[in-house]
Amino acid sequence: MLRFILSKLLYLIPTMLGITLVAFGFIRLLPGDPVLLMAGERGVSPERYAQISAQLGYDQPMWQQYFTYLGNLLQGDLGNSIVTKKPVLAEFLSLFPATVELALVAIVIATLIGVPVGVIAAIKRGSWFDQISMTGALVGFSMPIFWWGLLLIIFFSGVLQWTPVSGRISLMYFFPSVTGFMLIDSLISGQEGAFASAVSHLILPSIVLATIPLAVIARQTRSAMLEVMGEDYVRTAKAKGLPMRRVIGVHALRNAMIPVITTIGLQIGVLMAGAILTETIFSWPGIGKWMIDSISRRDYPVVQSGLLLIAGIVMVVNLIVDLTYGLINPRIRHK
Amino acid sequence: MTDTTVKITNSAMRGRMLREFWFYFSQNRGAVAGLVVFLLLVLTAIFASVLAPHDPTQQYRDALLLPPIWDENGRAGFILGTDAVGRDMLSRLIYGAQYSLFIGIVVVAIALTGGIIIGLVAGFFGGWVDTVIMRVMDVVLAFPSLLLALVLVAILGPGLTNAMIAIAIVYQPHFARLTRAAVMSEKAREYVTAAKVAGASNLRLMFKTILPNCLAPLIVQATLSFSSAVLDSAALGFLGMGAQPPASEWGTMLAEAREFILRAWWVVTFPGLAILISVLAINLMGDGLRDALDPKLKRS
């Protein structure tokens, strides 16, 4: 197992370096002078220009700039935002919990609904449930989620007035951030109604973000179940007279879950892309909205490091999924 | 002595294959429905100037934010109502079909061509060439697609052309990977060895001998990428990084409509519905294509 983990880690190093190269190259590929872009100042005097250039290391040869950049990264120095002047890493860490909370709730919704729907659709193949749920899954898979979010706002916030339009919690409530997760913090604070307010703010964005993963998980579960149900060991289990519930729950489902777990893990990248749109629509203060705002404000140090951090997170999550996969499926590990 | 073998010409062979393909494709009712909707979309795009009742950029100053015709405040002549500056919604939606199809075709063409060449080279030559190419593809795939497309547009500058290039770059590794995998499994087959022994050049082996046998998964992926391209370009348009106003691209229309969501539901509902229906139709077709082209699923 250790060899398996090590080989996976080694495999990641070139990709990691590639990602840093992309982030490093990004600033230099932008139209305009990188020194001015990174400094975010206009009409600088030649002396000031030389000063900034030396400060940022742009007067050195390209390869040296790259190694300085890598060195800074390893020390956790991701530069400062042009707009807020704060360190990018600190900003990222303060906004990240909001995105994690949203993404976690979304993936839980998607899994809790998607897996049972897929299993039932597979067992009752060809039934009306199968047809309706799989049509629904294809609609969900084809959904422009930015529009879906707007529709939900029109209906639940506009017509019914059940949910708020934006933000993480009502302005009425104020309490210190302990975990960064609004659901937990509002519970800890003990203020009446705070938790309910957090839930009502979270519900629409998490439904929107869950839509595509839900569709993918339901489809994947169904096809994995169908495949497994045709296997010899399932036929044996049926033949020896086991109750259907046991055949499906133990023999079929366990094996069908292996590809489904991978699918769930791979949805992280989808969630990150979805978070950009969802957070923009619901003014959710997470890293997706932060990235969009930074791109439109031309806050390039933030864009550069945000790109790096998000790609890094997606990679680490995929690694964890790979390792889990090896853990539950020995055939992969010993290949 | 009579010759008993039946000679099958190339065109007869092709006809037979097409008929077989259509047999499996038409078994899937959803796929046929998707194909019909898609063809209607193509016709709409081609005959937009005939079908649209108004010019898509003409602003009727006396008809701002009119509701659809079935609403009591609706006005004849504006079937789906008008937007905030008095442009006819229906005409803009009809012209929007041109954008979506154009984007899909261009993105898939660029990504497919690039991906096939890169994948063929990697799979055919193997060794360090393969390793380097595939590591580069891994790097591209490590970024969430929409984020990478956004950053590329930030580099290239907002606009429809740049958005299409960005999306194509982001999709290209999928085609490269598929081609490479198919080439690697075909490369060891006897017909390739035979062609090599007969003296075929590397280029001929790659493009004439191997490639035609790898097309099935690529066609399916192309269909899926077509629908994703429509979705992602609409998302870029919605975020203000794709087609720029006053273009009647559906995502851009949604972006302009955003501030009216609680006042005028129709300016938000129809463009999104158009995106959903197009993407759904193409995905239905893709499902049918996969079933019809996948030999594993046939006759089972």
Q: Distance between CA B236 and CA B164 in Å, rounded?
A: 10
ipTM of the complex: 0.84
- Say whether both A59 and A98 belong to one domain: no
Residue of A nearest to B142 (CA): A311
B92, B83 Cβ separation under 8 angstroms:
yes
How far apart (Å, rounded) are the C-alpha atoms in residues A199 and A186?
A: 10
Residues A274 and A236 in one domain: yes
Contacts of A278 (CB under 8 A, 6+ apart): A102, A145, A149, A205, A208, A209, A284, A288
Query: What pairs with residue A80 in β-bridges?
Result: A87
Cβ within 8 Å, pair A147-B254: yes
Has residue A5 been placed in a domain? Answer: no
Contact B209, B195 (CB under 8 A): yes
Q: How far is CA A276 from CA A272, B155, B226, in A?
A: 7, 18, 22
Cβ separation A315–B287 shorter than 8 A: no
Residue B2: predicted pLDDT? 56
Q: Is residue B4 included in any domain, yes or no?
A: no
Question: Can you give the pLDDT at residue A231?
Answer: 83
B178 located within any domain: yes
> With the CA atoms of B133, B138, B144 and B148 taken in that order, what torsion angle do they form, in degrees rounded to the nearest 10?
-30
Does residue A20 belong to any structural domain of this protein?
Answer: no
pLDDT at B80: 86
CB within 8 Å: B283 and A141: yes
SS3 assignment, position A125: coil
- Taking the Cβ of residue A316 and every Cβ of chain B, the question of whether any pair is shorter than 8 Å is answered with no
CA distances from A262 to A177, A198, B138 (A): 33, 31, 17
Tell me the residue length of chain B. 300
Whether residue B10 is contained in a domain is answered as no
Residue of A nearest to B279 (CA): A142
User: Domain tally for chain A?
Assistant: 2
Give domain status of residue B18, yes or no: no
pLDDT tens sequence for chain A (335 residues): 778 788 888 888 888 888 998 888 888 887 777 777 766 666 677 787 787 777 777 777 888 888 888 888 888 888 888 888 889 899 999 899 999 999 999 999 999 999 999 999 998 888 999 999 999 999 999 999 999 999 998 888 888 888 887 777 777 777 777 777 877 777 777 777 777 788 888 899 999 999 999 999 999 999 888 888 888 888 888 888 888 888 887 788 888 888 888 888 778 878 888 899 999 999 888 999 999 999 888 888 888 889 999 998 888 888 888 787 777 776 666 65
Residues of B with CB under 8 A from a CB of A: 30, 135-136, 138-139, 142-148, 150-151, 154-155, 157, 227, 231, 234-235, 238-241, 251, 254, 258, 261-262, 265, 268-269, 271-272, 275-276, 279-280, 283-284, 287
Question: Would residue B15 count as lying in a domain?
Answer: no
Residue A87 in any domain: the answer is no
Judged by CB atoms closer than 8 Å, whether chains meet at B138 and A14 is answered as yes
Report the half-sphere exposure of B266 (CA within 13 A, side-chain side).
Answer: 23
Cβ–Cβ below 8 Å for B283 and A270: no
- The answer to whether B147 contacts A26, with C-beta atoms less than 8 Å apart, is no
In the predicted model, residues of chain B with pLDDT beneath 70 are 1-8, 295-300
Helix, strand, coil abundance in chain A, percent, nearest 5: 75, 0, 25
* Same domain (yes/no): A39, A134: no
Alpha helices by DSSP H, chain B: 10-27, 29-46, 48-51, 89-125, 127-142, 145-156, 160-187, 190-197, 202-204, 215-238, 250-257, 265-293
Task: Give contacts of B231 with chain A, Cβ < 8 Å.
Answer: 142, 144
Distance CA B179, CA B200 (A): 20
**Contact A161/B at CB under 8 A:** no
Boundary-marking domain end, from A77, A107, A142:
A77
DSSP string, B133-154: HHHHHHHHHHS-HHHHHHHHHH
CB neighbour list of residue A237: distance below 8 Å, 6 or more residues apart: A246, A247, A251
Query: Mean pLDDT for chain A?
Result: 84
Q: What is the pLDDT of residue A39?
A: 67
Are A73 and A132 within one domain? no
Q: Which residue of B has its CA nearest to A293?
A: B239
A272·B144 Cβ contact <8 A: yes
A87, β-bridge pairs:
A80
- Position B299 scores a pLDDT of 43
Chain Cα centroid distance, residue A139: 21
Instruction: Examine residue A86 and state whether it is found in any structural domain, yes or no.
Output: no
Tell whether A118 and A213 lie within a shared domain. yes
Looking at the structure, tell me whether residues A70 and A193 fall in a common domain: no
* A32 interface with B at CB cutoff 8 Å: no
| Distance, CA of B224 to CA of B236 (rounded, Å) | 18
| Overall number of domains in chain B | 1
Across A14-41, b (16+ Cβ under 10 Å) vs e yields bbbebbbebbbebbeebeeebbebbbbe
End-of-domain residue from the set A77, A109, A139: A77
What CATH number is associated with residue A316?
1.10.3720.10
pLDDT at B300: 38
Does A304 map to a domain? yes
Mutate: best of A22, A24, A132, A142, partner B, most B CBs <10 A: A142
How far is residue B240 from each of residues B153, B167, B243, B246, measured CA to CA in Å?
Answer: 11, 15, 8, 12
In a domain, B201, yes or no: yes
Q: Identify which of B144, B155, B234 has the shortest CB distance to residue A26.
A: B155
Residue A146: list chain B partners with CB under 8 A: 234-235, 238, 251, 254
pLDDT score recorded for residue B4: 60
pLDDT of A61 reads 80
What pLDDT is recorded for position B8? 66
Q: Are residues A59 and A104 in the same domain?
A: no
So what's the pLDDT on residue A257?
83
Residue A9 resides in a domain: no
Single pTM value for the model: 0.87
Q: What is the pLDDT of residue A11?
A: 80
Q: How far apart are CA A262 and CA A103, in angstroms?
A: 17
Which structural domain, as residue segments, surrounds residue B228? 25-297
Contacts of A138 in chain B (CB under 8 A): 30, 280, 283-284, 287
Verify that A72 and A170 share a domain, yes or no. Answer: no
**Domain residue limits at A54:** 32-77
pLDDT tens per residue, range A174-192: 777 777 787 777 777 777 7
- Cα–Cα distance between A149 and A205 in angstroms, integer? 7
- Residue whose entry in the numeric block shows the structure tokens 């003296």: B199
What's the CATH number where B63 sits?
Answer: 1.10.3720.10
Residues A49 and A102 in one domain: no
Distance from CA of B276 to the nearest CA of A (A): 6
Could you say which of A158, A269, A280 has the minimum Cβ distance to residue B144? A269
| A73 and A99, same domain (yes or no) | no
Question: In a 10 Å sphere around its CB, with 0-12 CB exposed, 13-18 middle and 19+ buried, how is residue A67 labelled?
Answer: exposed
Asked whether residue A50 falls in the same domain as residue A159, the answer is no
Give dist(CA B252, CA B264) in Å, integer.
17
> Nearest residue on chain B to A31, judged by CA atoms?
B155
Nearest CA in chain B to A16: B139
In a mutational test of the A interface, the residue from B128, B137, B146, B152 whose CB has the highest number of chain A CBs within 10 Å is: B146
Tokens 């609403």 belong to which residue?
B71
User: Residues A317, A168: one domain?
Assistant: yes
